[in-house]
Structure formats: structure tokens, C-alpha cells
Amino acid sequence: MNLFFDRLGVMKKLLAILVLTLCLTTPSQADDIRDFQIEGISVGDSLLDYFKEEEIKKAQKNSYDYSNKFIDFWVPAKIKNKNDYDRVSIVNKKYDSKYIIYGVTASKNLTNNFEICLQLKKEVVDELSSMFVNAKKKNTGKEKHPADKTGKSFAYSTIFYIGDGYVKIACFDFYDNNPDNWFDEFRVDIVTEEFGNFLKKHYK
């Protein structure tokens, strides 16, 4: 029991930093999804504002392809603050030479710590709810993760709708020894309305 609370205390401090990084760049009455940032990056920006084109193309070689329209890929390590996240990813349109950002995701690996993830998610959601009282909020509860066709993996999400997009706080619970090597994680997603509608239509 003491070990559990020791680990919980460490993760609270870690994810408090994560939420602080998200919120300190956010006006308290934000009504535009572009007001939100992760590691200084916001949707609507061009990734060329942060990286050279050759760096972007190299990162995109290991991307996830959404129906040949959008691609999701990990950004180069220099953008990350390792005290906050394990990984930061970006969504671009596949053939966009301007590299406009349609989604930003920060994630933290919580393998074997899923109950802690749920507790932390609750605390983060409570904090954001007190900060963004005018935002429409949706709790999805426990739902099957759409990427796992076996139906053995689950997502627990809360979504804050801000202007023409949303911020999602989630815990993913993937089944052990899954063939894609997905792992339990805590995530913060900033998503534009266009990409969000695409996901809803094609990946539900």
C-alpha cells in the first residue's frame, strides 16, 4: 500500500507539470482551440515554424496513415521536455507542403499503472473544469478503443469542446501482449474540428 501511494505521489507531481505546461499558455476564458499549446505548438501553426523541412520529412517516414488523408508522427526529440511527456506527436495532412498542424498529442507511458492513470485523469479533468467553466464537456466513460479490433482494449476520455476544436484528456488500457505493442498511457490531445470530424466519420 505504501508503494502504491509513493508511486501515486510521483505521478501526481509529474502530471501536474504536464497540465501546467498545457494551461499556462491558455487564457482562462479561451474560446479558440488555437489558444491551447503543447510544448509551444498549437493547431493551425505550420510545423515549418519549429523544424526544418528535412527534419519533418524524416519524422514522417514513420507516420501512421489515416486513410491516405492525414498522417500522425512523433516529432524530433529536441522539442520534448522529458520531465513532462514521453512523446509528442503531430497530425498533418498527408500531401500538405505547408505542414499545417491539425492535431497535437502529448503522452505518458503508464504501463502497469492504469489505476493511477484513472485517478490522475480525474484530478486533471477537475482542474480543467474549474478553469474553463464555459466549455462544453463530455465524459465518454469506458468504451472500446477503436484501434484494437479485438475489443479487448479500452479508452476512458473526457473532452472539452473549445471553439472549433477540442481538448481530450484520456487513459488508454490496452490488453497485455497485444501484437501492436500498444501500452497503457495518459494522453492530452488538441484536435481541430476538421480532424475531429474526420476521426468521428472514419474511425468510430
* 45-54, 81-90, 158-167, 189-198: least confident range: 81-90
Q: Is the per-residue pLDDT at 180 higher than 80? A: no
Q: CB count, 10 Å around CB of 53?
A: 11
Residue 7: what pLDDT? Answer: 45
Ramachandran angles phi, psi of 195, nearest 5°: -70, -35
Structure-model confidence comparison of residues 76 and 88, the more confident one: 88
* Mean pLDDT value across residues 132-157: 82
Q: What is the pTM of this model?
A: 0.79
pLDDT band at 53, cuts 50/70/90?
very high
Per-range mean pLDDT, top range of 23-37, 52-66, 110-124: 52-66
Domains in the chain: how many in total? 1
- Burial code (b: 16+ CB inside 10 Å, e: under 16) for 142-179 equals eeebeebeeeebbbbbbbbbbeebbbbbbbbbbeeeee
Domain hosting 26: range is 2-202
* Mean pLDDT value across residues 82-97: 84
Q: Is the per-residue pLDDT at 69 higher than 50? A: yes
Residue 5: what pLDDT? Answer: 38
Residue 142: what pLDDT? Answer: 86
Q: How would you classify residue 67: left for phi > 0, otherwise alpha for psi between -120 and 50, otherwise beta? A: left
DSSP states of 126-183 = HHHHHH-TTSEEEEEEEEE-TT-TTS--EEEEEEEEETTEEEEEEEEEPPTT-TT---
Alpha-carbon dihedral angle through residues 66, 110, 19, 59, given to the nearest 10 degrees = -40
Residue 136 exposure: Cα atoms within 13 Å on the Cβ side: 7
